[in-house]
Amino acid sequence: MRYFIKLAFNGTHFYGWQIQPRHKSVQEVLETTLSTLLKETIKIVGCGRTDSGVHAKEYYAHFDFVETLTENDLQLLIYQSNSILPQEIVIYNIFQVDADLHARFDALSRTYRYYVTRQKEAFNFPFCYFIPQKLNIERMNEAAQLLLQTDDFTSFSKLHTQTNNNICKVSEAFWKEKGELLIFTITADRFLRNMVRAIVGTLLEVGREQITIAEFQKIIDSKNRCKAGYSVPAKALFLEKVRYPLF
């Protein structure tokens, strides 16, 4: 039987989602917890990798288990898991799905948000990137629209990864002001390693008027990571939504 997990995690103290040698990951902690409770070695497949320090307000993963778990069994498993898991990880739901539904390959889209604050503050700074300079939001949004016309995101991909290609389909990309917060939202069918953080860093250079919109397009066309801007800190990046065919 295949089961989906809906969860969230604060990635500050984790080396990303995926299991890494000598580093604590969200996947490792979840597998250990479920294996302990179900008394069987449980392998979990996530909806995608997240970089070290990146957070997820909504994340899906799946695992297979030989027995059929009733609704009461699942509710108990959720309760027991949350009792064992560290504070940074919470399971919202576990539910049975069709045996061929895959958390990674069947995801239609993923939405990330990056949070920038223009005001120094004492409480949310672990989850926001502070930028005191004035930013041209209109130009940043104009440049962001070029991403919807782009297929190859090599310029914003971490170098020397094991991906077969750097083709992604971005369906939305925009900045929104909310008080002193600037929130960048981007949705795509898939994301490359470090892609969102590199895009945000480059768009901020547009906002600072360090590069023009035409130069932003040239960076995209160059397919050269060295031409793009810096990668902004992981602490302000959140996976916000994952969409599947049935939910």
- CATH code for position 147: 3.30.70.660
Predicted local confidence at residue 159, as pLDDT:
75
Q: Is residue 103 part of a domain?
A: no
The residue type of 208 is R
- Regarding whether 90 and 136 lie in a shared domain, the answer is no
Do 48 and 117 reside in the same domain of the chain?
no
- Identify whether residues 19 and 47 lie together within a single domain: yes
pLDDT given for residue 50 in this prediction: 94
pLDDT, residue 247, reads 87
- Of 51, 64, 100, 106, the active-site residue reads 51
Tally of structural domains, the chain: 2
Same domain flag for 79 and 19: yes
The pLDDT mean for the chain works out to: 96
Give residue 163's pLDDT: 73
Q: Are 237 and 116 in contact (CB under 8 A)?
A: no
> Do residue 85 and residue 184 come from a single domain?
no
The answer to whether the beta carbons of residues 19 and 28 sit under 8 Å apart is yes
Q: How many CB atoms lie within 10 A of CB 213?
A: 15
The confidence score (pLDDT) of residue 162 equals 64
- Ranges of residues in the chain whose predicted pLDDT is under 70: 160-162
Active site residue 51: yes
What integer pLDDT is reported at residue 51 of this predicted model? 92
Kind of pairing between the strands at 129-130 and 170-178: unpaired
Residues 152 and 213 placed together within one structural domain of the fold: yes
Domain that includes residue 177, residue range: 111-243
Same domain, 150 and 90: no
